[in-house]
Structures are given as C-alpha cells and as structure tokens.
Structure 1
Amino acid sequence: MVSTTTEPPDEPLVTTTTTAPVETTTTTIVLTNSFRGVTAETIKLGFASIDFEYFNETFGFNLTYANYDDTVNVYVDHINATGGIVGRMVEVVHAHFLPVGPVTAEAACIELTQDHQVFAVMNGFAGPGAENVNACFSAIYDTILVGGKPTPEQLEQSTAPWISYDISLGRRGRAFVNLLEETGELSGLGPIMVLGANAEYEPMMVDVADALSSAGAVVPISVANPDTGDEMATIAYLEVLLERARGEGVSTIFVVGEAEYALQYLFSMGDEFTVLILNGDSANSWATAPPEGIERSGRLLTNKSFESRGDADMADCLNIVEAGLGHEVLSPDLLQEGEKNYWAALQNTCKSFELFRHIAAAAGPDLTNESFRAAAEALDTFSFTGVPYASLGPGKADARDTLSLAEWNHEAGVWTALSPPMNVR
C-alpha cells in the first residue's frame, strides 16, 4: 500500500512596507519693490482710453461706444480675485484722450508716466494725430505699452517694450497674400496693381509686391498716390493711372493704406476691377456707415477677424465682464440702433490685460522692463481672447497671427467670411 502525504498549502506571503518620510522643499517667492510702479504688494498700471462722452459733446457726434472705465475696473477686480500677478495686486489708473490731434494724448501720457509713475500702460492711443503719441510711453518715458500698432521705426526708438495684441500693418500685407494663396483665390485675380494711399506706405508696398510675385501673381504696376488729401487731384491722378492699368491688363487693385478718395473713385468703376483692401479691421464700421459709392463697386476682398459672442475663445472674457457689469455685452451685429456698445471696451480690455498678465507672470517675481522683455521674447505660441493663434518672440512684438479672408456682401451690406480663422504667422 502506498502511503500518500498531503502537504499543507503554502502560507500566504507576508510583506511589510515601510514608507520613508518624504522630504519636501518649499520655495518662498520673495516680492520686492523691483521697479517703478512695482512694490512687494502691487503693480500700478495705466489704462489710456477715448472719452467718448466728451468727444460726442465736443464735436457733436452721436457715437454709441461706452467709455472703458467700468469694464476695465471689472476685469482688474477679476485679476485680483484670482491671485493677482505672481501674488501682486493690480492698481489701475485711468487717463482719457480725444482721438483727434496730439494734445489730449500727450497730456494723458505725462499724467500716467510722470504723475502716477505707472509700471506699464494698457491699450494706448488711437485716431489721427493721437496714435503717434504712443511713442511717448516707450521712447520718451521708458514705460511699457501693451496696445497700439507700432511701426518698425517706433520699435527701434523705444527703450521700453512695446507689445501689440494686434497684427502689424507691416506683416499684414504678406499675411493677406498668404490667405489669398491658401484659399485658392489668388490664381483667379489676374494681374494686380499695388496702389499706395501715399508715399509713406512705399516700404509696405514693396513687401506686398514681393509677396505677390513670390506667390506667382503678376504685378505690372506699384505706385503711391502723390496727391493724398486732395480729392480732385486724386481723381485726376487715378484717371491717368487706370488708363495705364488697363493697358497692362490689370484686373485687380491692391490698396495699401487708408485711401478714402481713391476707394470712392475705384468703387465708381463698378465691376471692372476687383479691389483688395489691406486692413479689413479698419473697415468694420462699413456695416453701419458704408463709404460713399460702395453700392456701385465690384468685388471687394480683405482680411479681418470675425469675433462674436459664440466664439469659444471669447467665453471667459464675456463671463467675467458680464457678471461684473450686470448685463449682456452684445457684439455690434446684434446691437439695436442707438444701443450702447460695450463690445469695443470688452475686446480691448481683455486682450491688453490678458497679454500683460501672461507676460508679467512669465517674468516672475523680479518684475522689471528687462525681465518683461525677456519673458515676451521667450513666449512663442499661445492664444488669448478672440485670438486662437498668437505668438511673440525676438523681433516679433505683434502678437496676433489670426486672420480670415473676407468678401463684402453687397446685398446684406456686411463683410462675410470666406475662410475660417487661419494662422498667418
């Protein structure tokens, strides 16, 4: 008989885990009075904006734009309620100007930089005669500006960083050509004449003509109007020029710069020429105040942004501002006649402060002009309110890289998008 022995089952393996204490290192951020307008507790910022109420009273206009102050204060409250900027709270100082001539803009510049000693200025000046005063901040008083549209010459003269949340006119011409090429529109435009509003636009005209030629377009003529500001002289010049253009087979005219009289005359030509307009954002007002003769014009193409309440990249800004103001902020296409327009205030406020906060946070606790400049140059690609494609870097001070191709809809009297927002960097 064979004896069988059954071994008891193995005992379960007992393991003992010993957890060693984890050593943590706490880094303490030390905030100091690092620069003019920057203390250990606060950053003092200026905000320059048009006084629309006074402008209407002074010049008899009936513009419906709301002054920016309330919207700015709401957004600054939001920044401070969400930790400020690297722990510093934002103090804002308002200064107002009129968008005509340099006098009120110069006074506002001195008020912000000398009287209040702000670290940086948001938004800046706009309008004929006022826009050039933006250099007062960055070139004369060594103060950062986030806003405006600096020229290469102004950037070269600036000692403090000047960052624009828009796209520069200098880069816009080439970007427009790229849009036309990428959407397939360029090939159907035929020979193109580049027409400058005046001689100041000649460097931009050269760049546009070069971009068109590089993309395969024929550019037989590139000229600037020598009689800008004189309606009759402009018409006489264009009559001769267009005869030359017809002889060269031109079917499209690329207008560089703000050329009111020239556009009116080109509109009167009907559909003989397709007209390309360099800066479509400057033509946003055409929906409510169309230029004279546009109903007679042929095809009009431009590049612009189409920002609306439904955009995903507008949601945060809208929620913050509407909650603070206590009412809806409607885009211009949804406003009733005479209704107050808070859209411009919302756009410029959110964009300038978002961009500043992004850069200043990257600059770290030692906030100075130079640390701000270094942070901006290292930022590369990002997005912010209404701008899904943006970038900054060495030699690139204009953040926006987002544009759509647009065509004027004669029947509806509005610009319509021919492309989605595209990255034109």
Structure 2
Amino acid sequence: MLLTVGAAACGSSNGSGSSGGNTTGVTDTTIKIGVAVSDLDGLRAAGIALAPALTTQNLSKRVTSYFDAWNAAGGINGRKVEGIVLTWDPVKPATGQKVCDDATINNELFAFINANGLGAKYIECIVAAGVPSFFGDVAPQSAHDTGWLTSTKAPVETNAAAGIKAAIDSGRISKSAVVGILSGNGPEHIAATATAKAALEANGNKVTVAQVNTLQGDPGIQNTESAAAVNTFKAANVTDVVVALQFTASGGFWDNVVGNKWNFSILDVASSMCSAYGGKSLKASAVGSVCFTSDGDSTTSDGKLRPETDFEKQCRATYDALVVNDFVGAKSYAGVPSGETRTLPDGMKVSSDYPPNECMFADVIKKGLEKAGKNLTRESFMKAVRGLGDLPYALGSDGKGSQTPGKSYLALYVHADKLTAAPTGTAKNANGTYNNCPVDIQCWVPVDSKWYSIS
C-alpha cells in the first residue's frame, strides 16, 4: 500500500500504548513507514535532464514494492505495511526540513527510511523525535547515540577514523606528509574532519583544513568555495589532500587541481562519496584518487567481474522483476547508473544496476518486525533489530553485516578503492571488463583484496 505526502497533514501524538511502549503509526491491522526520496519529477520540471526511468515514483517503489510483497503474503504478524512517501528538492537541501516535519509532526509514522541523499542534519532531526530510522548514508555519532538510527555505514567519526587508519597502515599517507582536508560545514563534515585531523596529527602530520559552506544550499557557491581551497593548500605546501566533501560541492576543487602533484584520499563521510554514482560523477582530474569505504565494487582488484553473493543475486532478481517494464526488456547490470539504459561497446543492452540499500533495509526491517512479534512498539522493534546478529550486506563490507546491541550500523569492514577511467566506448578487455570497470563508465576499482575491520 502506498500513500504520498504533499502538504502538511494532521498532527501526531506520542502513541504510548498500554505496555508503556510507543505505538505511533501502529494499529491492529497496519504499520505506517515513511519512505523519503528526492523529488526528481520537480527537477525534471525545472529543466534538469534525467534518465526517463529516473522518477520519484520509481525511486519510492524500490522500497514500497517490498511492502506490497509482504502484504500480498498476508502481512507481518497480522498487519499490513503502508508506505508513506515523503519528498524533498535535492537542489535545495534546506527542504529536507519538510521531510523531518512530515516524518515527526505531520504524519503518524512508526518508522522511516531514506536509502540515500537526505542531509544528515535532517536525519538527526528525525531520530531526535524518537522515530526508528534507516539511512543509507553516513550520519554523525550524535544521531546514532539517540538509539533510533540504523545506517548502512558506520558513524562519520568511526568511518573517518577507519579511513585514515587504513590510509596510514597501507602507506597511502606517510608520517612526513603535509595534509590538506577539504570539507563542508554540515554536522557530518564537522564531525568527520575533527576525527580525521586528530588522527593525522597523532601520526605526526601537519594539517590544514579548507571548509566549504554546504548548508547554504547553492551548488554554484559551494563549488566556487571548493575551488578556492586549491590556493589554500598551495600556500600550506601540502603533499596530500583528504577529501571529505561530496561531489556536488567539490567540482570546483577538482577543476583547479590539475598540475598539482598531490596524493588524493577520499573519506566516505558524506552523501554518495564513494558509491558507483559518486565515482561516475567526479571530475576526470579525480582519477587515481583512493577512497576508503564500506561500499563494494562489481569488479575485483585484478579487473575481473566479481561473483555475486546469494543475497546480491536475490536483490538483483527482485529489482529486475520490479522494473521489467521500465527499461524495454534490458536487465539490470553492474555499474550502470541509476535509471539509465545503455548499449555497451560489444552491443549488449543493459539497464540501471539494482539498489543495494533498499534491499538491505527491507531484509532488516522485515526480520525486525517479525522478531518483535504482535505486541509491536518502537522500543520492541529496535530491540529486535539490534538482536538480529549476522546479516548479509549487498555490494559492500565484504558481503558481511551485523546488528548487535550497541551497534547502530550494518557494515563491518572498509577497504580501499581507486577511481578508474573508463570513457564511453572503452573496449572490453580479456577479463570481460572495461579498463577494470564493469561498464564503460568511470568507476571505483578495489586497490587490493584486503578489507579492514571498522572496529
């Protein structure tokens, strides 16, 4: 079942049940879960070119289709799940506040899902109101400390520390390196930068930070500010640059770094930093940069297509069945950007890769609801989720995730990825890949087969 939220609806209550737990969004027959997606239809109406199959409805059904399948099978513990779609304008980040208002005030929701893209500031707003939330990007520790957040990746502080440690342990950043950090001023940026700076200084590195105002929401201004960071780093005589800023704001920086012989390391501490989409979207001057991330890849370090796990095969099959009419018969294929169809140089027609976060969250939420039983409250649900133990992880973390008491994220591992060029038309090599990328699109390729434990 699917509902879409536009203007503000009715107010909410605290939903306290007779057992003392919070039953907001739960009745004897239904469970209401919010699903937040970018308003891509609004972008298209504003004249921004997008792939035809990349629509607001298609984004939301990547989650709500799981609810439909559960409901068709009789629901969960006698209840049907209703998906309430919430939207924000991705070119106006401040509209994320409307998502928080819709999730916490204007609707009575039991839980909330955003597979990716919403600013960490608004995730903090939602979990601060006590709404169990599932987020496919990174958020600061303060959001995790509420006890209501479950993310795919570790908190930004943990991710930053793990990334810097991996960069140092692998020899990527030496003790003699003079390091610049390019960052933003969102809560995720500030937390990650403080952690990275402290770790680098403990390693003996001199550090200079250049901060972009990412909260003001104008990509043009953000890119002008990130371009200015180049001169800041030149003045500091840096040898290495750690990028902790999403690609939508770092373009100006990458446009102006050509000719500087700096080593680039990217930390997975903001939206889509090291995802396939993020890699494809970075400027060509970023090629050769190394990202430390829980995100996985569709190829191996020796340039072969990586065999999928059973869980990943299941995620792909579910997605292909969902979008069978959206891509004129072309099945999903590793590395194809969201919403696109593509004809590879060998003539093979392929379409948008499956979305891993939605598949993982559906798995966790269903198992959590089942385990929580019929006397469902927000508290019993979160206790059930935290007690799930070992879990599969799609397209990342070496295929392994977990939920245990006190652990509010799914990933267990990070690794090093190198941004690799594969311009359109790149010929397929003997391994069946395109300069080690799964398709002829700029991509991340594992540096080696090593995964580093986040802990």
TM normalised by structure 1 equals 0.73
Deviation at 1:417, TM superposition (A): 1.1
Aligned to 2:254: 264
Aligned to 1:150: 139
Alpha carbons 1:254, 1:277 under 8 Å: kept:
yes
Relative to structure 1, the CA distance from residue 94 to residue 213 in structure 2 (aligned partners, 3 Å threshold; closer, same or farther) is: same
Relative to structure 1, the CA distance from residue 120 to residue 237 in structure 2 (aligned partners, 3 Å threshold; closer, same or farther) is: closer
Aligned to 2:5: none
SS at match of 1:282: coil
- Report matched runs for 1:111-260 at 5 Å: 111-114=102-105, 116-123=107-114, 126-127=117-118, 132-140=121-129, 142-147=130-135, 149-156=138-145, 158=146, 161-180=148-167, 184-186=170-172, 191-198=177-184, 201-212=189-200, 217-225=203-211, 229=221, 238-239=230-231, 241-245=233-237, 251-258=239-246, 260=250
1:77 matched to 2:68 = yes
Q: Provide Cα deviations, 1:190-219, integer angstroms capped at 9, x if missing partner.
A: 5241414246645433422444466xx441
Question: Which residue identity does 1:267 align to in structure 2?
Answer: V
CA distance in 1, matches of 2:212, 2:319: 46
1:398 matched to 2:385 = no
Point out where structure 2 has 5 or more consecutive residues left out of the alignment: 1-18, 215-220, 299-305, 344-348, 423-434, 436-441
SS at match of 1:172: helix
Relative to structure 1, the CA distance from residue 419 to residue 82 in structure 2 (aligned partners, 3 Å threshold; closer, same or farther) is: farther
- Report matched runs for 1:25-424 at 5 Å: 35-63=23-51, 65-66=54-55, 67-81=58-72, 84-101=75-92, 104-114=95-105, 116-123=107-114, 126-127=117-118, 132-140=121-129, 142-147=130-135, 149-156=138-145, 158=146, 161-180=148-167, 184-186=170-172, 191-198=177-184, 201-212=189-200, 217-225=203-211, 229=221, 238-239=230-231, 241-245=233-237, 251-258=239-246, 260=250, 263-264=253-254, 267-270=257-260, 272-279=261-268, 281-283=272-274, 284-285=276-277, 288-291=280-283, 294-295=284-285, 299-304=288-293, 305-308=295-298, 310-312=307-309, 313-326=311-324, 328-333=331-336, 336-337=341-342, 342-343=352-353, 346-387=355-396, 388-410=399-421, 412=435, 413-420=442-449, 422=451, 423-424=453-454
Identity of aligned residues (%): 18
CA distance in 1, matches of 2:126, 2:222: 33
Question: Which residue identity does 1:171 align to in structure 2?
Answer: T
Relative to structure 1, the CA distance from residue 274 to residue 37 in structure 2 (aligned partners, 3 Å threshold; closer, same or farther) is: same
Relative to structure 1, the CA distance from residue 275 to residue 329 in structure 2 (aligned partners, 3 Å threshold; closer, same or farther) is: same
Point out where structure 1 has 5 or more consecutive residues left out of the alignment: 1-30
Larger Rg computed on CA atoms: 1
Alpha carbons 2:181, 2:241 under 8 Å: kept:
yes
How many pairs does the alignment contain? 377
Relative to structure 1, the CA distance from residue 50 to residue 341 in structure 2 (aligned partners, 3 Å threshold; closer, same or farther) is: farther
TM normalised by structure 2 equals 0.69
Relative to structure 1, the CA distance from residue 287 to residue 391 in structure 2 (aligned partners, 3 Å threshold; closer, same or farther) is: closer
Aligned to 2:431: none
Question: Which residue identity does 2:445 align to in structure 1?
Answer: T
CA distance in 1, matches of 2:117, 2:23: 28
Alpha carbons 1:165, 1:355 under 8 Å: kept:
no
